[in-house]
């Protein structure tokens, strides 16, 4: 199983905000892969660029990025984006631009999206979504 963690899940894990998410990540077996999208990496790097004085946060995020597999964006993800966006529009719903890209990346990679963000409830007919941060309200 490939798990694609979205930006909020990375934050909960790297900043130690969710013990449940950290435990779930630690329990990943050898047959499974924890990964993030290059889109998520870009969001993280943007957040760090806005806070150059946040040395502890930078260390936590860089440590996380070093340990996780970062998936690049390619043609399969672009095709998944087109299909997902069309399906969501036909259903009368949408996602924020970067969330839509991350969801499409999960589809293109054949991954389960790991998120605590309720906005992804709209993609569950098209993509498996799971929440590891069950200890956060």
CATH number at residue 20: 3.40.50.1010
Task: Establish if 137 belongs to a structural domain.
Answer: no
Report the domain count for the chain: 1
- Candidates 43, 108, 98; CA nearest to 73 is 108
Task: Name the DSSP class of 123.
Answer: G
pTM given for the model? 0.94
| Residue 11: domain span | 2-130
* pLDDT confidence tier of residue 122, bands split at 50, 70 and 90: confident
Task: Establish if 48 belongs to a structural domain.
Answer: yes
* pLDDT confidence tier of residue 137, bands split at 50, 70 and 90: confident
How is residue 119 written in tokens? 């906005």
């Amino acid at each position: 199983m490939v798990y694609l963690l979205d930006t909020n899940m990375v934050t909960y894990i790297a900043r130690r905000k969710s013990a449940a998410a950290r435990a779930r990540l630690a329990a990943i077996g050898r047959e499974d892969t924890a990964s993030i999208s290059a889109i998520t990496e870009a969001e993280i790097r943007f957040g760090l660029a806005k806070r150059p004085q946040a040395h502890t946060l930078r260390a936590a995020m860089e440590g996380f990025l070093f340990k996780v597999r970062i998936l690049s964006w390619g043609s399969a993800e672009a095709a998944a984006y087109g299909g997902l966006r069309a399906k969501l529009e036909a259903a009368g719903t949408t996602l924020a631009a970067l969330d839509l890209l991350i969801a499409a990346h999960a589809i293109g990679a054949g991954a389960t999206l790991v998120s605590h963000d309720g906005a992804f409830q709209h993609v569950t007919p098209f993509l498996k979504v799971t929440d590891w941060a069950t200890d956060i309200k």
